[in-house]
Amino acid sequence: MRRRELIALAAATLLAGGCSAAGSGSPSSGADGAVGFSGFVGGPGILTQTEDAIKAFNKENPRYEMTFVQGQLNQPPFQQLLTMYASGNVPTIFILDAPDLAKVADKVVDLSDEKWVGEEYPWARQQGTVGGKVLGAPQSATGVGFLYNRKLIEAATGGKFDPSTIKTRSDLAALFAKIKKAGTAPLLVSPLSWSLGSHFLGKLYDAQGDDTARARFVSQLKAGSADLADNKVFNGLMDTLDLMLKYNLNASKPIAGTIETDGKAFADGKAAFWFMGDFQWPMLQAMGVPAAGDGYGIIPVPISDDSSDPWNHKIMATSAFVMAIDKTVNTPAQQKAAKAYIDWYVQSASGQDFMVNKAGGVPAYTNVKLPVSNPLGRSVAAALADNATYSPYMGLPSDHGAVLGDVLVKYMAGKLDRAGVAKAITGYWKSQK
């Protein structure tokens, strides 16, 4: 009987121990007295490469032992962080989308005094700054616009393609018409809520002007005083969308495409342009585009017929993700170790090699001089260097892409007209508190 009691006691102790362990972050000590801490990658990130980077970091920094926490690919990192914070099991360093940084502002370490601060592009620093404090370090930069296949365009038009000649929507329409006449599909528009809701519709807010003008426009939307029917940007954007849908490879079945089928179609040269971002390069390569990928690039999405309109000349560039360090359950020693990882990533040769060559990223830091390893990334990097990019509005609610992306997919399917889209957008904003 006594033995049974001992077993019961042991079981209860183990259970209680298990429960109390849920309140910690990551193991604070590694092998040989090294500081143990953890790093998390979730969402459509670069999992394998990050794991390799952590191995390289551990090898070069024996004082630290970083462990890799792998998240889910198909779930935004912030949603996964919510459950991690709810369970009190938070990795020391994690990535998240830049607009989500403000939501964890009271839980992450102030990085304002770090050595790499000042090396980021000004827009990237702004995206990582909340309330005057630098809270996030950009992982890399990414750009969104029309990806193009130069060889296909030139074969269809019989002339040399100069991306800088596309200054207006009419220029784009003329090029699309020429390509179509030659029997090639001009464009692919993927019916993906996240792409249309965040990347395409995002320009509705971005192109209102500077941060003050954007905030004013959003305030008017919330108050119900913004009239989208007469809004120049909204109508310009919808006119461009109509043009895209007219020349879409999948015009006869506009919402049948998936990221896989459309990526394969673009990689196979079935369409000359694709509304997407440089982040799709790894997938295009996996689908058969040669590693060199000569002739691929990215151009802005024109939203007017005014050739002097700056929004026709700039691609949207943002931090692919920002890295932040938890201070709620991770010890000061672990926070210091996580800072060392960001230092290594931004400043060391091997960290930069991972950022640019292994992960194929576009540096968001001016001190990183390595040439970008893929043509789409090179196009984004060139735009960054030429100041031909704009930073998106950071105040969109977390469900904006999903909710209003669905509205644009419905428009693509012909189940909604322009007035219906406007009504859905104003209705969405009015419901925001």
Partner 1 sequence: MSRQWRNLRGFLFFAGPSTFAFISITIVSFIGGVVLTFTNWNGLSNTLSFTGFDNYTAAIADDQFWSSLWLTGRYVVAVVLLSNAFAFAIAYMLSGRIRFRGMLRAGFFTPNLIGGVVLGFIWYFIFSQGLVAVGTALGVDLLSTSWLASETLAFWALVIATVWQMAGFLVIIYLAGLTALPGDVLEAASMDGAGGLRRLRSVVLPLMRPSFTICVFLAIGRSFMTYDMNLTLTGGGPYGSTELVAMHVYQKAFVSQQFGTGQTEALLLFVIVAAISVLQVSVGRRREVEL
Residue 402 beta carbon to partner 1: minimum distance, rounded to whole angstroms: 6
Of 387, 346, 375, give the one whose Cα is nearest residue 363: 346
Tell me how far apart the terminal alpha carbons of the chain are, to the nearest angstrom: 62
Helices 169-181 and 232-246: crossing angle in degrees, nearest 10, is 0
Pairwise CA distance, residues 21 & 18, whole Å? 5
Binding-site ranges for partner 1 (CB under 8 A): 4, 8, 11-12, 15, 19, 74, 79, 82, 85-86, 103-104, 106-107, 191, 193, 253, 255-256, 258, 260-261, 397-399, 402-403, 406-407, 409-410, 413, 415
Please give the structure tokens belonging to residue 341.
């990882």
Please identify, using beta-carbon distances, which residue of 241 and 299 lies nearer to partner 1: 241
Give the number of other Cβ atoms within 10 Å of residue 223's Cβ.
Answer: 10
Q: How far is the C-alpha of 406 from the C-alpha of 400, rounded, in Å?
A: 10
Residue 219 or 261 having the CB closest to partner 1: 261
Closest separation in Å from C-beta 156 to partner 1: 25
- Comparing CB distances to partner 1, the nearer of 16 and 177 is 16
DSSP letter for 248, please.
Answer: B
- Rounded CA separation 376/272 (Å): 14
Least Cβ distance, residue 70 to partner 1 (angstroms): 15
Q: How far is the CB of 256 from partner 1 (least distance, A)?
A: 4
Contacts of 213 (CB under 8 A, 6+ apart): none
Nearer to partner 1, 261 or 367 (CB): 261
Q: Which of 187/407 has CB closer to partner 1?
A: 407
Q: Rounded distance, CA 113 to CA 412, Å? A: 48
Residues 329 and 228 sit within 8 Å (Cβ to Cβ) = no
In the bound state with partner 1, the residue whose beta carbon lies nearer, of 68 and 85, is: 85
